[in-house]
Amino acid sequence: MGNRVVVTGVGPVTPIGIGRDAFWMALQAGRSGVRNVEDVVDLEGIDVKIGAPVDGFDPLDYIDPKKVRRLDRSTQFALAAARLALQDGGIDLAKCSLDRFGVIAGTGIGGMQTFAENFTTLIERGPRRVSPFFVPRMMPNAICGEISIEHGLKGSNFGVVSACASGTHAIGLAAKLIQAGDIDYALAGGAEAVLLTVTYAGFARMGALSGRNDRPEAASRPFDLNRDGFVMGEGSGILLLESYEHAKARGATIYAAIDGFGMSADASHITSPIETGAGAAQAMTMALRSAGLTPDTVDYVNAHGTSTLPNDRVESRAIRLALGGTADTVKISATKSQVGHLLGAAGGVEAIATVLSMHHGFIPATLNYEIPDPECDLDYTLESIQMPIQVALSNSFGFGGQNASLLFQSIKES
C-alpha cells in the first residue's frame, strides 16, 4: 500500500473566515459569506449582483510588499493559504528535506484578473502598456510555482486544471506521490479569484448563477427544490500533507488520513453532468476501493452541492449508486451553502471543512434547504450535529465531466 498520508495543517482563505479558527467558527455558526458585490465588481447590465468575496484580506499580512504587485489575486490567496497551512502544521522547514517537499495546486481558470486587466490595457492603451508581469501572473501554474519559490520547496511541483475538481485532484495526486515515496511532504489544494465583470457575464449567459439578489445569504441552497444556480466565490484552501511516519516522528497533530482517492470522467457533456450519476459514483467507488473500505463504513459526505438544478440531482443519484443502502443513513452537507462556489479552490476549502468536521466530531448544517426536492432525497443535515466521524468522502465535479473524490479516515494517535 505504501506510505500512509495524513493531513497535519490547514490553510483556509474563504468568504467566511481566514485561517483555521475563524473559518471553523463561522462554519459551526452557520454564517453565510454571500452578499451584494457591486462594491467590488462592475455588474452594470448583468442581472446577477451577488457573490462571496474574501473580505478583509490584505496580502501584505502574508507576502513581501515588493512581491505583491507581481502576483494575481488568486496567487496571493494561495500564498497566504500555504503560509497558514505551514503555521497550523507547526512544521520546521529547516528540518525538512526540501527536495522531497512538493507543491501541487489547482485552479479552474487561473489569473483571470490579470488577463482582464491587461486585455483592457491592450485595447485602450496599446501593446506597449501591457505589463511585463502579464504572463507569469496569469499562468495557472503560477500558484504552485510561487509557493515553492517562497519556501524553497524543490520536490514535485505542478498545477492542476480540471475546473471545479481542480483542488480535489491536486490533493489526491499529492497524496499519491507521498504514498509512492516520491516525496515526504506536500502543500496541496486550490485557489481562485474571478469575481470579475467578464466572468459574471459568461456564467450569467449560461444561466448558471443564482439571481436571488434580494436575499443574498439565502441564494446558495444546495438540494433545495427552489435552487436556481450557484453563487460565485473566491479564495483558497491549501492543506499540509505528509507521510504518517514523518508526522509521528515530529509529534504533529493529525487531522485525518487520506486513505482513498478516485477520479473519473463522464465523457458526456462539456458542462452538464451525465444524468445517471455514473461518473461521479465511479469516483466515489474508486476512493472506497483504494482505501480497502466498503460503502457501509462511510459516515459523512461533504457534497459538491453547487445549488444548480442538474448537479444536485445528479450527485444525489451518484451517492445512491456508490453507497447503496448506506445512502439512506449517511450524513451529507454542502459547504457551498455558506461560502458559495469557489470553483478551482472549492475542493481545497471543502477538504479542510471535512477534516475539521472529523477532528471536532461536528457536521455543519446545509443552509437554506427549505423545500424538499423529490429527486434529492438524502439526509442533507439541515441542522448541525455533533457526532463522531470515522470515514468521510469529499466530492468535487467539474465542467468537462471531470470527477474527483477523496476518502478521509480518522486515525487514532498512540
Confirm whether 341 is a catalytic residue.
yes
What radius of gyration do the chain's Cα atoms show?
20
Q: What are the cell numbers at 158?
A: 505542478
Q: Choosing from 151, 341, 359, 376, which is the catalytic residue?
A: 341
CB atoms within 10 A of CB 48: 21
The contacts of residue 60 (CB under 8 Å, 6+ apart) are: 68
Confirm whether 359 is a catalytic residue.
no
Q: Choosing from 151, 164, 359, 376, which is the catalytic residue?
A: 164
The contacts of residue 124 (CB under 8 Å, 6+ apart) are: none
Alpha carbons 322 and 12: distance in angstroms, whole number: 29
Confirm whether 151 is a catalytic residue.
no
The SS3 of residue 273 is: coil
CB contact at 8 A, 223 and 337:
no
CB contact at 8 A, 2 and 181:
yes
Pairing of strands 256-265, 235-243: unpaired
Helical pair 166-179 and 346-360, crossing angle rounded to 10 deg: 60
Nearest to 368 by CA among 386, 387, 358, 382: 382
Alpha carbons 224 and 195: distance in angstroms, whole number: 25
Nearest to 81 by CA among 16, 14, 26: 14
DSSP codes joined into one string, 133-193:
THHHHHSTTHHHHHHHHHHT--S-EEEE-BTBTHHHHHHHHHHHHHHTTS-SEEEEEEEE-
Alpha carbons 83 and 62: distance in angstroms, whole number: 7
Continuous H helices in 108-141: 112-125, 134-138
Q: What are the cell numbers at 378?
A: 438524502
CB contact at 8 A, 155 and 101:
yes
Q: Which residues are catalytic?
A: 164, 304, 341
